[in-house]
Amino acid sequence: MQLSDAIFSGPAVFEWHGGEAARIPAWHHFDGDWYVATYPGVKRDLAAGIGANALGHYRAIGQRRGYAPNRWFDEGWYRSVHEDVAASIADGEIQSGFQHYVQQGYRNHAPHWLFSEQFYRTHEPDLTGAVLKAAGLANGYDHYLSEGDGGFRAGSLFFDPSVFGASVARQGGADFCVFRCFIDNLDGEADRFRASWYFDPVWYLERYPEVRTLIADRSFSCALHHYLTKGEAAGYSPQAAFSEEFYRERYPDVGACVAAGQFRSGYDHFLAAGAFEGRQPSPEIALVDYAAKPMVRADVGCGIFRDPFAHWVAAQHRQEVGSDDGVLDEAHSKMMFCREAAGLLVEAGRRTLDFSYTGTPAVSVIMVLYNQFPLTLMALASLRDCFPGALELIIIDSGSRDETRRLQEYVSGATIRHLDYNASFLLSCNMALEMVSADAVLYLNNDVKLAPGAVQNALDRLTSDPKIGAVGGKIIRTNGRLQEAGSIIWRDGSAYGYLRDADPNCPEANFVRDVDYCSGAFLMVSTAIARALNGFDVAYAPAYFEESDFCVRIIQNGYRVVYDPFVVIEHLEFGSSCSSSSLALMQRNRRIFVSRQAEFLRGQYPAHAGNAVLARSRPTNGLRILFVEDRIPLRSLGSGYVRSNDIVRSMARQGCAVTVFPVDAHYHSLSRVYGDFPDTVEVLFDRSAEDLDRFLEERAGAFDLVWVGRTHNLARLLPVLHKNSRYLPKTEFILDTEAVISPRRILRDEVLGLAEPSLPNALDLALREEFDCAYFCQKIIAVTDREARFIRRAGHPNVVVIGHSLQARSTRRSFSERKDLLFVGAIVDEASPNLDSLIWFGREVMPKVQAELGSEVRLTVVGSRSRKVDLSCLNEFEGLDLVGEVEDLEPFYDAHRVFIAPTRFAGASLTKFTRALPSVCLLSQAIF
């Protein structure tokens, strides 16, 4: 959207030589009315004949006084942050900061405390130099003022148009531009409303009343102006949710970074890194716990919020965060569940549920009823919607007295047997088992709702291995909390629903494992096995402990009982039985269970909550492995994470129980996390290094082997591993180096001209320092033979090589059908070899390629990139398309002719080489 021409219609202050940007930039126009109103002395000067007009006054006097030509440029701030500019003014080389900005600063200098050229260009990657050139725009600020502001784009982390725009009255219809509104009201709305979730002007002025005085005497225009220009450097806190003093004390490394000039303040560090790492912004906020909430993860993952901290502040602002974690009152949620069922009765009278089928059914479903007609209809409707395939429905009406007696009027294609008496759940199930014709039978309660795919997922799991005898699912109560994620049988015969009351999306609930038993609310069993066991043991009639005993007998006969989290059921717990004698029945049947299964119970864990993590899975022959990495190794991240992901997959294929533990907290959608790993892997997406101490104590004795990815992680975690060594295996530690860094650093310094005269044995000293922590591990993994030699050179002979996994494949398109160049690589920090290689290729090679083959040749750059990295340096290159992180690289390999990897310094062997080889021509830096 373009602003009206009237806004930027004034004359240019200086002659404009913007090259391709022929039109005068929006920020270059002189605003005479604003100038006179802002600087009262100008009117007096003009009345005294000093200057023919406002523009003449500015050129002759105003700019030397430090006046700004318009509201879009802050002369005083520009001089204060750009010391070289201030020096040039003092030396008489230029008259003002604005003159410097017009002549050269517009390319990369920030013109205003609320706009950053770097921030804007980084967050608008499509705004390349070529795009600006084609539009006749001088820079990102020109685009922002002309179009970006009207399009609700942001030019600073401290100005979010959606936040400020929601707080002030809408004006001007389609021409409403939020940044302009803010700048025009610096003495009004700017101090009454938030401009972002990162600064609270009302709190700031209450906390620091002296700032009000400074604003009143026009030293600063508003609270945010004071903070960004003076307050931040002085150690002021920006809002109640962040304490500058606490943060620096809590994290000594931050204070050191600030002292070294790497960050302006603790808050600067927090916004750049700490908020993503889960660091604590104030004593009251446990950001790691908050960030792990599914709602928060989803909102951050889809870009509604930049980070969990902003989400927390926004939730506080809207008074949406309570101390109860948002858990519904279960009595109320049960009532709403029943009301929902009752609300379906009208439709049930008009549309019959059809369970007819032809041929052999895929699954037979047994449902036992005793009254509760509305719940039954909702459960059956859910079943029909969940599984459209051939399904045999067998219903035993065990003496109902409500509308259930006329169920056949609402359901067709089902086998329905009405009994005149209550035959009990157990005996009714055994009666129905005799009628089953499918190879799989599903015992299903009538007080449930099935999630999409629940039946098919259970059927797929049951048929995936002939040794699987039964499959159960993740059962969620009506209040949104877990009833169970598989169940545990303790040594005393009591039962425990694992993770009861936990969040259904917690990592512990979301991986496949063998368990002691699963609830009969949803239990799918091989029909042959069920019949071989004669169904439920009649000794437990009428109910309770029958499914526990049933699953134990399945296990005793050599079969597995599997918990599958992708089988999801909502359950009205205790909705299908309201007998006052339930407790007495439970106690009686527990005694029977203990007597009949005494041998099995002797091998179970004693009843204690601390044993739950050990008892949650049945014993297997595979190793239990704790796999530690920088972050969750998603394949789309590159940077060695593909190889780590391959290793985890290989471990899982070999039957190992793998738990992935990230050192640093990064936030990804759960669909991304679980789509990248085998379903038997436990992925602790909500943990970080800060949790490791407590985690190892909680998981005492739970691991047979600890695999630590990357040497720097071992060095960082070594004190915690020492402290908790009694909870871990004695001699089963493996260090997977991923890359040997010392040679790369030395080569990098040589390539970039940073190397200083060094000792002849500098590499040996660096290697010994790098691997000083490696003594802790019994095995060290190198990626290549060359790196293995480096590790041995550092004094560690216990090295083996595990390289990269590569599957041969061919592309669909021929070479002639493809075009352009492709680069794949993650950019994780400013020192990234990938960033260096892109800059080098863009400057040294791309111009030659385009000169030889034509300017239409383009380079596509694919790969994840950290928000902390400024990529504006790439905007100068013609023909560069930044795609960012993608889920699937194959379409890019298939569409491009030549893959480039102009890496000048890197560790190990690059996965990108091997991934590209079967697809496209490969050009490495050595060719150039």
Distance (Å, whole) CA 687 – CA 631: 10
Distance (Å, whole) CA 26 – CA 145: 6
Q: Residue 801 is inside which H or E element, if any? A: strand 799-801
CA 547 to chain CA mean position, Å: 38
pLDDT interval class at 168 (50, 70, 90)? low
Tokens standing for residue 779? 């095995």
Least confident residue range of 272-281, 297-306, 605-614, 696-705: 297-306
pLDDT in tens, 785-838: 999 999 999 999 999 999 988 776 666 888 888 999 999 988 877 878 888 889
Distance (Å, whole) CA 309 – CA 269: 13
CB 111 within 8 A of CB 13: no
pLDDT in tens, 98-123: 999 999 999 889 999 999 998 998 88
pLDDT in tens, 570-598: 999 875 554 456 778 888 999 999 999 99
pLDDT in tens, 353-401: 999 999 999 999 999 999 999 999 999 999 999 999 999 999 999 999 9
Q: Give the pLDDT confidence score for residue 904 in this predicted structure.
A: 83
Q: Give the pLDDT confidence score for residue 546 in this predicted structure.
A: 96
Q: Give the pLDDT confidence score for residue 575 in this predicted structure.
A: 55
pLDDT interval class at 462 (50, 70, 90)? very high
The secondary structure of 360-397, three-state, reads CCCEEEEEEECCCHHHHHHHHHHHHHHCCCCEEEEEEE
pLDDT tops 80 at residue 919: no
Asked if CATH classification 3.40.50.2000 holds for the domain at 815-927, the reply, yes or no, is yes
Q: Give the pLDDT confidence score for residue 248 in this predicted structure.
A: 95
Q: Give the pLDDT confidence score for residue 923 in this predicted structure.
A: 54
CB 436 within 8 A of CB 366: yes
pLDDT in tens, 742-759: 998 888 888 887 777 666
CB 316 within 8 A of CB 199: no
pLDDT in tens, 198-252: 999 999 999 999 999 999 988 999 999 999 999 999 999 999 999 999 999 999 9
CATH 3.90.550.10, the chain: domain bounds: 334-615
Question: What 3-state DSSP class applies to 881?
Answer: strand
pLDDT in tens, 483-535: 999 999 999 999 999 999 999 999 999 999 999 999 999 999 999 999 999 99
pLDDT interval class at 170 (50, 70, 90)? very low
Tokens standing for residue 495? 């039962």
pLDDT interval class at 310 (50, 70, 90)? very high
Q: Give the pLDDT confidence score for residue 5 in this predicted structure.
A: 43
Helices 546-556 and 582-596, axial angle in degrees (round to 10)? 20
CB 533 within 8 A of CB 557: yes
Question: What 3-state DSSP class applies to 35?
Answer: helix
Tokens standing for residue 95? 């008259």
Distance (Å, whole) CA 176 – CA 393: 61
Q: Give the pLDDT confidence score for residue 23 in this predicted structure.
A: 75
pLDDT in tens, 6-42: 445 567 777 776 655 567 888 998 999 999 999 989 9
The C-alpha angle with vertex 813 and arms to 811 and 815, in degrees rounded to 5, equals: 100
Look at the alpha carbons of 193, 194, 200, 204 in this order and tell me if their dihedral is positive or negative: negative
Short-list 458, 521, 448, 446, CA closest to 484? 521
Short-list 377, 369, 368, 384, CA closest to 342? 377
State the average pLDDT for the chain.
Answer: 89
Distance (Å, whole) CA 580 – CA 285: 45
Asked if CATH classification 3.40.50.2000 holds for the domain at 620-805, the reply, yes or no, is yes
Facing residues of 118 across strands?
none
Tokens standing for residue 458? 């259970």
Residue 517: CA count within 13 A, CB half-sphere: 24
**What is the bridge-based pairing of β-strands 733-736 and 705-709?**
parallel
Question: What 3-state DSSP class applies to 394?
Answer: strand
User: Per-residue DSSP letters for 146-188?
Assistant: IIITTTT--SBTTB-HHHHHHHS---SGGG--HHHHHHHTTTT
Question: Residue 563 to residues 128, 479, 877: CA-CA distances in angstroms?
Answer: 51, 22, 53
Asked if CATH classification 3.90.550.10 holds for the domain at 334-615, the reply, yes or no, is yes
Distance (Å, whole) CA 851 – CA 844: 12
Question: Left, alpha or beta for 191 (phi > 0: left; psi -120 to 50: alpha)?
Answer: alpha
- Note the maximum CA span of the chain: 110
Distance (Å, whole) CA 554 – CA 352: 37
Dihedral through CA 574, CA 577, CA 579, CA 582, nearest 10? -60
CATH 3.40.50.2000, the chain: domain bounds: 620-805, 815-927
As to burial, measured by CB atoms within 10 angstroms (0-12 exposed, 13-18 middle, 19+ buried), residue 767 is buried
Q: Give the pLDDT confidence score for residue 813 in this predicted structure.
A: 85
Percent of the residues in the chain that have a pLDDT greater than 90, as a whole number: 64
Where is pLDDT greater, at 811 or 845? 845
